[in-house]
Structure formats: C-alpha cells, structure tokens
Structure 1
Amino acid sequence: MSARPNQRNIKWVEGLRGITSVLVITTHVSRAFDFALFWPADSKDGTPRLLQLPYLRIPWQGRIGVPIFAFLTGFVCAYKPLKLAYQQGNQAASLKSIARSAFRRPPRLILPALIATLISFVLSSLGGYKAANHCDSFWVRFDAPDLVPFKEGVRRLFRTSLTTWTNTENVYDRHQWAMRPLLIGAFQVYIVLAATIGMRFKYRVLVHVLLILYWLMNVNALTETFGAMLALGTLLAELSQHRPTQNFISTHQRLLTYVVAPLILLVGGFIGSYPQEHEDWSSWSRFLHSHLVKGGSIVVPEGSNVNRRTSGFFIMCAAVSLFLSPLFQKLLSHRLLIWLGHHSFAVYLVHGTILRTVGIWIVYGISGEPWEPAGKNEDGTDRPQEWIPPRGRSYKMVAVVVFTALTYAAAWAWMKWVDTACARTTQWLENKVFDDDEGEGNGGLAEKGFAHGNGNGNVSAGVPRPQNHQDGERKLPPP
C-alpha cells in the first residue's frame, strides 16, 4: 500500500518531545541525589547497579535531552515550509511561512524564559535557595544562585537576562543555557530553507547531508549537539514529504520495523551508554573507550567531546529508527505522551527552580542550617568546608515524587496562563508587523508612498492603481 505524505502521522514529534521532558527531569534528579549513576559502577571493578548497566543508564546519565530538542527544532521548523513548497508547489507561500516563523521564534522563546528568570530571582531574593547553597551536592550548589543584596540582585537580573542570549549564562536558571543555541539553530534552518527552496529534491537532500557531515567533522564545542541534529531534523522533514521514500517504507514496513530499526537502535544505544566518568571501571566501557575514543574514530574524532559525541550518535540512530518504523511512531503518538510533549517547554523552564527549592528542602531542610563557611579554627589551622548532608534515602524518594508532581502541575498552569499570554502577545506583534495574507495591505502601500488613507482605512480614490491588461497591450493615457 502506498504512503501518502499529506496523510503522514507526525504526532510522534510531540510524543518524542514529551519523553524528552521526562528525560531532562530524570537526569537532573540523578545529578542532584545520586551522581554515581553517571558512572559504570560505584567503584573500580565493583558490581554495577541495575541503572548503571548499558541501555538502562541512558535516561539517568543525561546528555540526550537537549540534542533531541535540537533535532525536533530542525524537523518542526522545516516541515511546514517544505510541505507548502513540496506538496502544494507554492514556493511563495513557503517563503512567507519561513518569514513568519522566523519572526515568531524569538518572542516565543525569550518572553517565557524572561518570566522564568524573574520567578527564580524573586525566590532567590527571599532566600529560597539557601538550602541549595549549603547542601553537599556540588551540582545543586553550582546551579543555585548565591544570595546577594537586593540592589545587586536586580542588577544581576538585568545582566543575566541579557547574557542568556549572548553567552548562554543565566545565574538564576542555568538550565536556560540551551536557549540561545536553539534560537540560533532555528534561524540556521530558516536560512537553509530559504536558500534551497527552489532546488530540485536530490540537491536539497545533498545540502542537508553535507551540512550533517560538516557539523560532525567540526570538533568545536556542541557541534554534534546542535548543528548536526538540526540538519538531521531538516533532512528527515524533507524525506517525510518524499512520496517514493514513504512508499519504500510502507512496502518494507515489517523488515524496517522489526529488524533494521531495532538493530540501529541497539547499536546506537550501546555507544550512547558511554559513561560520564570512570570509563575504566567496567569491561564494557573499557571496550568502548579502546575502540572509539583511544586514537579517535569516525564516531568520536580526536579533539571532540567524547560524551556528547557518543550521545549524539545515539540520538541520530534513534531518530533514523523512528523515521523508518511506523510502529515506533504510533507508539509515540499515545495521547499521554502528546500531553507531556505539549507541556515540555514549560517543564524545561520550571523544573530547575522547583528542584532547587522544594526538592532540596525535603532532602536537606528548608533553613540550610546549621552551616558555617570555611575559615580558621581557634588554633589557627584551616577549617575545611563542611556541607549539609542529606537526611536519608526515604527523604530523597519523597522529594522525587513531590518534585515531579509539582513540576507537571506548574507546567500545566504555565501553559494555561503564562504561555497563552506569551502566544497572544506574539500573535499581536505578528499581526502588527506583517501584512495580511491576501497581499500587501494599505498600511504597507502607504509606507511606500503608493496609497493614502481616507480616514476610513480605505485607499483614496485619487491614487492611481496598476491595471491588468491582456495580450501585453497598454492603454494610452486619456487626452
């Protein structure tokens, strides 16, 4: 049975986004309360825990949430313009869609991020991060802003609201480091689309493939996390519109779903399990190190970030497997995953603040006391810094449950009120800036000196308009 691209199911995109938001939560919980999950075992040649084994460790060790968001950015930003140009043959509408999407992208990212930063600033000013500043988790202490005088805090708020979009530094919410590269990445996609929208299919695909190879050969920071994933998303969006490709997938559905896609996913998952630290503590991680990292390889070129390269390879394998398997897409189209995906951006913005406050309060106490900064003892010897220890394992389990429930409750409220307000503001700006879809409005013509309002919003009758004539003839002006 032939596949029809215009009937293709892309609900899986929202489902994948939902899974990604859950992965972001799980990795940050493990960073805060059980950092050893990032290792292949608790000690050298020790027996690994279940969640430290290959494949099972992937959700906890992190490094995959942001690359998936980058892949989805490439796919979503490209899908509609390509559909307009590719299926409907309307390149003009495609370019207009690109222009409007490019206009909407900055306020739809910046406005919610600013509000989340402001909330974190208020909590910091009230001393909400004091327990996080004094706990024994280094990662939590690094993420939590120090308490400073209010005046200095206001200056820091304005400074960090700018640096989030200049150098990715946000003292009040460090999880926003990915916002700037994701914004820039979206515009990279728009530029590629605008530059290639008139090309024939095979040459557009060639451009996307060359871009993927370029970013993978580039060993600069985060090229595998953003550049390669964005280009892969654009490539798969392109192939999603290609009828012969979809017919091939439909014809060989069983083989691709039950053999090819799982094999690709298994290979990618094993490589993506490469540990954050102490790769010499287990035989399987030593195997990966000797064959992929030592001396460099295609997957991990010399000079590149080993952890991000292995995770990036896994994400690429997972994306290709998902693209090849209609069954995987159907599973990701479950309404629960779609609901999670709808709230994923809100989860990304609120979860860090809730974790550093309520989550840490449950495990370490609200007061952050007793605590004494490092200094000198009475006899003149150095007094090392002692951090507040956790209350116990049961408190951590309660914290995880409460934190998760509060995060999704807050995300629901965020989408209902905050995100809706930001969307309305963006839509108002778009309507104000752009002409109507029927063509250039009177306001645009007036700006160029071709029309003048008569007070009723109509073009004055005295202004000459261009006339359409048949057969290339032009009437003579009246005598």
Structure 2
Amino acid sequence: MSARPNQRNIKWVEGLRGITSILVICTHVTRAFDFALFWPADEIHKPPRLLQLPYLRIPYQGRIGVPIFAFLTGFVCAYKPLKLAYQHGNAPASLKAVARSAFRRPPRLILPAMIATLISFVLSCLGAYKAANRCDSFWVRFDAPAPLPFRENLKRLFSTSLTTWTNTENIYDRHQWAMRPLLIGAFQVYIVLAATIGMRFKYRILVHVLLILYWLINVNPMTETFGAMLALGTLLAELAQHRPTQNFISSHQRVLTFIVAPILLLVGGYIGSYPHEHEDWASWSLSLHRFLVNPDGDEIRGSFLVPKGADAPRRTSAYFIMCTAVSIFISPLLQKLLSHRLLIWLGHHSFAVYLVHGTILRTVGIWIVYGITGEPWQEAGKNEDGSKKEQEWLHPKSRSHKMAAILVFTILTYIAAWAWMKYVDAACARATQWLESRVFDEEDGESKDDIAEKGYGHINGNGRLPRPHEAGS
C-alpha cells in the first residue's frame, strides 16, 4: 500500500523529545551523585557494575541529550516549509513559513531562558545554593553560582543574560550552554531551506548529505553535536515528504523494522557506549578505543569514524544518534511506540524540564542529600609552611538519602515543568504571537496600514495605487 506524505506519523518527534528529557535527567543525576558511572569501571582492574556495561551505560553517561534536541530542531524547522513546497507546490508560501519561523525562534528560546535565569538569581540571593557550593560533588559545585553580595550578584545577572547568547556561559544555569548553538543551528536550517527550495529533489538531498559529511570531517568543537545532527534532521524531513521514499518504506517495512533497524541500533549502541574517560579500564572499551580512535597503535588519533583531533566520546555518541534516528525513520513500529500519549506529554514538557531541572537539583535535591544549611563547614586554612590546606567538603548523609533525593527531584521537576508550560511558556508564546502580528502581514491579506507602511501607495475610495511591480502591467 502506498504511503502518502501527508499521512506520515510525525508524533514520534514529540515522543523522542520526551525520552530525551528523561535522559537529560538521568545524566545529571549521575553527574551529581555517582560520577563513576561515566567510566567503564570504578577502578582499573575492577569488574564493572551493571550500569557501566555497554548499552546499559548510554542513558547515564551523557552526550546524547543535546544532540538529539539538535536533530529534532533540524527536523521540525524544516518539516513545515518542505510540506508546503512538496504537497502544495508553493515555494513562496514555504519561504514565508521560513521567515515566520525564523522570527519566532529567538523570543521562544530567549524569553523562557531569561526567566529561568532570573529565578536562579533570586535563589542565589537567598543563599539557596550554600549546600551545593560546599558538597563533595565537584560537578555540582561547578554548576552552582558562588555566593556574592547583592550588588555584585545583580551585575553578574546582567552579564550572564548576555553571555548566554554570546559565549554560552550562564553562571546561574550552566545547562543553558546549549541555547546559543541551538538558536544558531535553527538559522542554519532556515538558510539551507531558503537556498535549496527551488532545487530539484536529488540536488537538495545532495546538499544535505554534503553538509552532514562536512560537519563530520570538521574536528572543531561540537560539530558532531550540532552541525551534523541539524543536517541529518533536515535530510530526514526532506525524505519524509518524498513519496517514492515513503512508498519504499511502506512496502519493505517488515525487513526494515525487524532486521535493518535492530542492526543499526545494536551497532550504533555499541559505538555510542564509548566511555567518557578511562577507556583502558575495561577490555571492551579498550578494544573500541583501538579500533575507532587509535587504530595504528601510536597514540595518534585518526580513523574514518573518528578523525585525528575529533572529540572521541562526542563523535561516537553522534553515530549512535544517527543510527537511532534512521532506525526510527524507517520503522513504522518504532514511530508508533514513540507516539504513545505519555511520551507525547513528556515531549510537550521537555523544554520546560530542561530549564527547571538544574535549579531544582542544585537546591532541593542537594538539600536532601547534604542538608539545607551547608553545615558543619570550615574553610580550609593554611599549613604551617604557608601552603593551602585541602578543603574538606560535605559528604552525603546516606545512600537512602540519595535515592529519596532522586525521587523527590524527579517528581518536583515534572510538576514544575507542567506549571511552567501552563503559565510561563504560555505567556511567552502570547508575547511572541503579539510581536509576530505586529511585524508580519495578515495571513489572509495585507492591512491598509501594512501597504502604506511599505510605500506601495495609499488606499482611498477610488482604490489603491499600483505597487511598483504592477506599474505598466
């Protein structure tokens, strides 16, 4: 049976976004309370724990949440304009959709991010991060803003509000480091769409493939996290509208779903299990390192998959995400599973989860494990020879306190995300919609003020004057 592009199920996008928000929570809980899960074993020559084994370690070791968001950004930003171009053959309408999306994107990211930063600033002024500043988790200490007098704190708020969008540094919520590259990435997609919308299909596909290859051979920081993932999303959005491609998937869905997709997931998952560090602490990770990163045995990085100078952990995670994205794209069964209403609900709240979870973890989560007061505490002094003593940090109360903290933190995060979407995000959406209505023409025709503002002429009882391109026609 032939598949029609307009009948394609793209609810899976929201479901995948929901799973990604859970992965982000898993990663940051691991960073805060059990950083050793990022390694293939707790120590060299020690057997690994269950969650340190290949495949099982993927949700906890990080590196996949933000790249998946980048892939989804590429897919979603490209889908509607391409749908207009494919189904309606309306390139002008497609370009207009690109223009409106490009206008909406900055306020829809910047406004909520600034509100989240402001909330964290208020908590910092109230001393809510004292326990986080003193705990024995170096990652939590790095994430928590240091205490400052109110005036200095206020100056830091203004500078952070700018640096979030200039160099990705947000001292009040370091998880917002991804906001700037995601915003830039969206505009990368818009530029590609505007430049290729008039091309024939095979040449548009060639552009998308070349962009993926370009970002993968580029060893600058984060190219595999953003550039390649965005281009992959645009490519799959293109193929989602291409009827021959969808007909092929429909007619071969059993083979694709039960043979090709599992192979891609198994291979990609094994590559994506490459550890954050200490890859020599386990035989499987050392073998993976020798195959992908150091095939010549001379400690000079370089292979087809991980070129010399590339970030091996991020690069291997990128291949896992690519394999996963293609598997979902070719498998209607996986798309149906990801379209479950619970996952869609999680996906709808994923951006809110990303914005609020860090603040809740560094306050309530840390309070449960280390105490609210951050006491007893003593600043490290100096030794008799004048050298600085090693600081003694606060230690967790118990393992049960960690488990309770994870449970409470997760529940509070999704309650806060629900409230955020209901009130904060809705207000930001209304503000963006108001701005859009002021800036753009009316959907069903231009108003008199719009025409006059553009200098095309005025409207009176005898009709409007002709526009420049109509004169003499």
Q: TM-score range by the shorter chain?
A: over 0.9
Q: Tell me the residue number matched to 1:3.
A: 3
SS at 1:437 equivalent? coil
Q: 1:382, CA displacement in angstroms?
A: 4.1
Q: 1:45, CA displacement in angstroms?
A: 2.2
Q: Distance in 2 between matches of 1:403 and 1:430?
A: 37
Q: Tell me the residue number matched to 1:250.
A: 250
RMSD over aligned Cα atoms: 1.5
Q: Does 2:432 correspond to 1:432?
A: no
Once the two structures are superposed, the pairs formed by residues 180-195 of structure 1 within 5 Å of their partners are 180-195=180-195
Q: 1:384, CA displacement in angstroms?
A: 1.4
Q: Which amino acid aligns with 2:86?
A: Y
SS at 2:412 equivalent? helix
Once the two structures are superposed, the pairs formed by residues 25-424 of structure 1 within 5 Å of their partners are 25-294=25-294, 295-377=301-383, 382-424=388-430
Q: Distance in 2 between matches of 1:192 and 1:208?
A: 8
Q: 1:465, CA displacement in angstroms?
A: 2.9
Count of residues in correspondence between the two structures: 464
Q: 1:450, CA displacement in angstroms?
A: 3.4
Question: Does structure 1 conserve the Cα–Cα contact (< 8 Å) formed by 2:18 and 2:345?
Answer: yes
Question: Does structure 2 conserve the Cα–Cα contact (< 8 Å) formed by 1:40 and 1:279?
Answer: yes
Q: Distance in 2 between matches of 1:126 and 1:415?
A: 25
Q: Distance in 2 between matches of 1:414 and 1:245?
A: 39
Q: Distance in 2 between matches of 1:350 and 1:102?
A: 25
Q: Distance in 2 between matches of 1:386 and 1:330?
A: 52
Q: 1:80, CA displacement in angstroms?
A: 0.3
Question: Does structure 2 conserve the Cα–Cα contact (< 8 Å) formed by 1:442 and 1:451?
Answer: no
User: Identity over aligned residues, as a percent?
Assistant: 78
Q: Distance in 1 between matches of 2:192 and 2:120?
A: 36
SS at 2:372 equivalent? coil
Q: Which amino acid aligns with 1:357?
A: T
Q: Distance in 2 between matches of 1:99 and 1:405?
A: 38
SS at 1:40 equivalent? coil
Task: Give the alignment's TM-score, normalised by structure 1.
Answer: 0.95
Task: Mark the structure with the bigger radius of gyration.
Answer: 1
Flag structure 2 segments of 5+ consecutive residues without an equivalent.
295-300
Could you report, residue by residue, the CA deviation over 1:447-476 in whole angstroms, capped at 9, with x for unpaired residues? 233344xxxxxx322565339xxxx997xx
Q: Distance in 1 between matches of 2:37 and 2:61?
A: 6
Question: Does structure 2 conserve the Cα–Cα contact (< 8 Å) formed by 1:265 and 1:321?
Answer: yes
Q: Which amino acid aligns with 2:417?
A: A
Question: Does structure 2 conserve the Cα–Cα contact (< 8 Å) formed by 1:354 and 1:406?
Answer: yes
Moved more, 176-185 or 87-96: 87-96
SS at 2:168 equivalent? coil
SS at 1:296 equivalent? coil
Q: Tell me the residue number matched to 2:297.
A: none
Q: Distance in 1 between matches of 2:21 and 2:107?
A: 21
Q: Distance in 1 between matches of 2:279 and 2:72?
A: 30
SS at 2:227 equivalent? helix
Q: Distance in 1 between matches of 2:12 and 2:356?
A: 24
Q: Distance in 1 between matches of 2:472 and 2:219?
A: 61
Q: 1:313, CA displacement in angstroms?
A: 0.7
Q: 1:46, CA displacement in angstroms?
A: 1.1
Alpha carbons of structure 1 residues 381 and 83: separation in structure 2 relative to 1, 3 Å: closer
Could you report, residue by residue, the CA deviation over 1:43-72 in whole angstroms, capped at 9, with x for unpaired residues? 112111110000000000000000000000
Q: Distance in 1 between matches of 2:139 and 2:172?
A: 14
Q: Distance in 1 between matches of 2:181 and 2:454?
A: 36
